[in-house]
Structure 1
Amino acid sequence: MMKVKDFYFDLPEELIAQEPLNERDKSRLMIIDRKSGEITHSIFRDIIDYLEAGDCLVLNNSRVIPARLFGVKDDTGARAEFVLLKRIDKDRWETLVKPGKKVKIGSSFTFGNGELRCKIIGNTDFGGRIVEFEYEGIFENVLDVLGEMPLPPYIKSKLEDKERYQTVYSKVQGSAAAPTAGLHFTEELLERIKQKGVKIAFVTLHVGLGTFRPVKVENISEHKMHEEFYNLDEENAKIINETKKSGKRIIAVGTTSCRTLETIADEDGLVKPMSGWTDIFIYPGYRFKILDGLITNFHLPESTLIMLVSAFAGKDLIMNAYETAVKERYRFFSFGDAMFIK
């Protein structure tokens, strides 16, 4: 039985990156060779040296919505924070709320100067609330004015430029958190990668609660992931399959791209255009169907993300890599440094 505490490492708080670097591609890059176990150090913009013509980089083009809203309870004036997680239909959402005790079914809240209102109409199975919104005009426009970027709780600094919590290729609105491995790419770097003959394919996975929800069970096999919406279209499925058939590598940029690919791929490592909801939980013992390489950030101790990375590279190698990262003063989490596991 694999336990949560098997994935613990000691992380000094000062290594948690509080803001992004001035230049996206100047972050550090740790290279991990799964076969030899060798660990080397580089700079992210030199990722191009580790990619070969014919390889395919798979990027998650989901865009973070300003999903954090602060409301006032109509009858008492109590304040509450809502994070939009999953759209049920046009005006109803699954949300995470704080403090949950004050937000009961039947209560109503007002946001801003009344441009947006909501009524609590149900509870979710993860302790959140289902809310129904009322507003004039287009919801996304109202959200742009009233919503804030839902930065993770370990980032205490205010983000000056909202775009730094978006990838340069973000396109499809819907995430409650950024697919952060992609934050290191610039348009120039992607252009140079394409010129080298590396293919680029896009998937969409709207990052929700599943990605950063803590594992609260001792035995990790009992953990249940929250569902997240994914989509792969025909054009990008074709690029991925052509790469696989030619014997070149499929390299996921981020755990969200990895989970999407592994949800869709068949036993031969081929994909079909499809969309749906995934709650795939990848931890050691999982047999990968399609993935040949992974670009990812450094994750929280005991998180589902460090478990996924350990499944891909081997737990001992990853825990050793994390110890090395702490020793070498790498920056951790969303605005931190990256690793490439090949």
Structure 2
Amino acid sequence: MMTKATTFDFYLPSELNASHPPERRGIRRDHVKMMVLDRITGNIRHDQFFQLSNYLKQGDLVVLNNSRTIPAILQAKLLRETKLIEENVEIRLARSRDEEVWDVLIVANEIKRGDILQFSSDLSAIVIEYTDSSPLRTIQFSKKGTELFNRIYALGEPIRYEYIHQPWALDYYQTVFASVPGSVEMPSAGRAFSWELLFNLQRNGIQLEFIQLHTGLSYLLDDELETSPTDNYEKYHLSETTVEKIDKTKASGGRVIAVGTTVVRALESAAMTGVLSGVTNLYINQSFPLKFVDGIITGFHEPKASHLDMLTAFLPQELLWNAYDEAIKNRYQWHEFGDMNLII
């Protein structure tokens, strides 16, 4: 199977980068625009997301990621053998190894094994591992588990990229159903759901199920760094009940609709390996035979993003290109605060 991302490049006008949450643009979160794309024909319809139930049918199963976004940017003093090396160093959490050990991106000139990061009077970390081949460093915090998360929530701020021009509170980076802390970037495909919409789906006989995949750090602040999608390891968990529901849904002619690329990655990892909880580096592209997932609800992805490769597992690249061209012409908004795309 291919491990290198294809070059799906296009021009995205800067004004289509959603820099404000919909609620700050005067739109309810479930009233963003939705482009509905037919997997077979490439036919396109335009609607709003709160009308989602019109495109699903009784017996379909919608699978959502209830991972909760953590404020993954921290500031620290860098100490080496008790000597202050740098006063304000930015640390970006990338992925959790265990309850106290994380892979992180440290924005500093030089980092050595044994260096100390002092975040506050009661939280520090030591650099325990690094390799020259990766910009990520492994650190061990002085706290773990819930106690560590409490300090991270108190000290951190959400990751935001250059198209977000001002800081937004962490609540804007959460889905309404987020419950299990762990994602360093928002699993944004679920953001447009409101409780009202979720209840409406259920009233129409559409099933809901929740899994977790904790998203990792997608950008390592180096445009020249070429990483393979298979270098992206993320923790996931789904229950036996979820697998049973998927099997029953497909056996009865229903469709399994994944909310986001994270859900596709988690479900297809479990389908391929039989492992329901673990770490995945699964890379999905046009040659990947989807086993569990029949459709996807997702946002619009930036040029060259590996997420676009995943979408070609659902429909031919030419149809995807045409749809993205249509989205640009119709002024759809991109990224985590943007509009939605249903491929079914």
TM-score by length of 2: 0.89
In the alignment, residue 337 of structure 1 is paired with which amino acid? D
Residue in structure 2 matched with residue 234 of structure 1 by the alignment: 240
- Other structure's SS at 1:300 match: coil
* Contact 1:225/1:281 (<8 A) preserved: no
Deviation at 1:17, TM superposition (A): 0.4
Residue in structure 1 matched with residue 8 of structure 2 by the alignment: 7
Residue in structure 2 matched with residue 277 of structure 1 by the alignment: 279
* Contact 1:60/1:253 (<8 A) preserved: yes
* Distance across 2 between alignment mates of 1:140 and 1:127: 24
* Distance across 2 between alignment mates of 1:42 and 1:296: 15
Residue in structure 2 matched with residue 21 of structure 1 by the alignment: 22
In the alignment, residue 302 of structure 2 is paired with which amino acid? L
* Contact 2:5/2:306 (<8 A) preserved: no
* Contact 2:269/2:275 (<8 A) preserved: no
Deviation at 1:174, TM superposition (A): 0.7
Residue in structure 1 matched with residue 78 of structure 2 by the alignment: 73
Instruction: Give the alignment partner of residue 62 of structure 1, picking from 67, 85, 88.
Output: 67
* Contact 1:237/1:273 (<8 A) preserved: no
- Other structure's SS at 2:113 match: coil
* Contact 1:225/1:280 (<8 A) preserved: no
Deviation at 1:324, TM superposition (A): 1.1
Deviation at 1:236, TM superposition (A): 2.1
* Contact 2:213/2:262 (<8 A) preserved: yes
* Distance across 2 between alignment mates of 1:315 and 1:2: 17
Distance 1:2 1:139, change over 3 A: closer
Deviation at 1:273, TM superposition (A): 7.0
Deviation at 1:164, TM superposition (A): 1.8
* Distance across 2 between alignment mates of 1:116 and 1:2: 38
* Distance across 2 between alignment mates of 1:68 and 1:179: 17
Count the aligned residue pairs: 332
TM-score by length of 1: 0.90
* Distance across 1 between alignment mates of 2:107 and 2:32: 34
- Other structure's SS at 1:138 match: helix
Superposed CA offset, 1:12-47 (max 9, x none): 111110121111101100010122211111001011
* Distance across 2 between alignment mates of 1:14 and 1:332: 9
* Contact 1:217/1:223 (<8 A) preserved: no
Residue in structure 2 matched with residue 86 of structure 1 by the alignment: 95
Distance 1:188 1:126, change over 3 A: same
- Other structure's SS at 1:256 match: helix
Deviation at 1:249, TM superposition (A): 0.3
Deviation at 1:121, TM superposition (A): 1.6
- Asked if 1:247 is matched to 2:253, the reply is yes
- Asked if 1:37 is matched to 2:42, the reply is yes
* Distance across 1 between alignment mates of 2:223 and 2:234: 17
Distance 1:4 1:61, change over 3 A: closer
* Distance across 2 between alignment mates of 1:261 and 1:223: 17
In the alignment, residue 145 of structure 1 is paired with which amino acid? A
Distance 1:142 1:116, change over 3 A: same
* Distance across 1 between alignment mates of 2:293 and 2:99: 35
- Other structure's SS at 2:200 match: helix
* Contact 1:29/1:44 (<8 A) preserved: yes
Please, what is the CA RMSD of the aligned residues?
A: 2.4
| Structure 2 counterparts to residues 295-314 of structure 1, below 5 A | 295-314=297-316
* Distance across 2 between alignment mates of 1:131 and 1:61: 26
Residue in structure 2 matched with residue 164 of structure 1 by the alignment: 172
Superposed CA offset, 1:119-162 (max 9, x none): 21211553211112225992121111111112344323210x32
* Distance across 1 between alignment mates of 2:7 and 2:232: 22
Distance 1:33 1:89, change over 3 A: closer
* Contact 1:215/1:302 (<8 A) preserved: no
- Other structure's SS at 2:51 match: helix
* Contact 1:216/1:223 (<8 A) preserved: no
Superposed CA offset, 1:174-206 (max 9, x none): 111111110000011100101100000111101
- Other structure's SS at 1:77 match: strand
Listed as ranges, the gaps of 5+ residues in structure 1 are: none
Instruction: Give the alignment partner of residue 118 of structure 2, picking from 110, 124, 131.
Output: 110
In the alignment, residue 197 of structure 1 is paired with which amino acid? G
- Asked if 1:146 is matched to 2:152, the reply is no
Deviation at 1:228, TM superposition (A): 0.5
In the alignment, residue 124 of structure 2 is paired with which amino acid? R
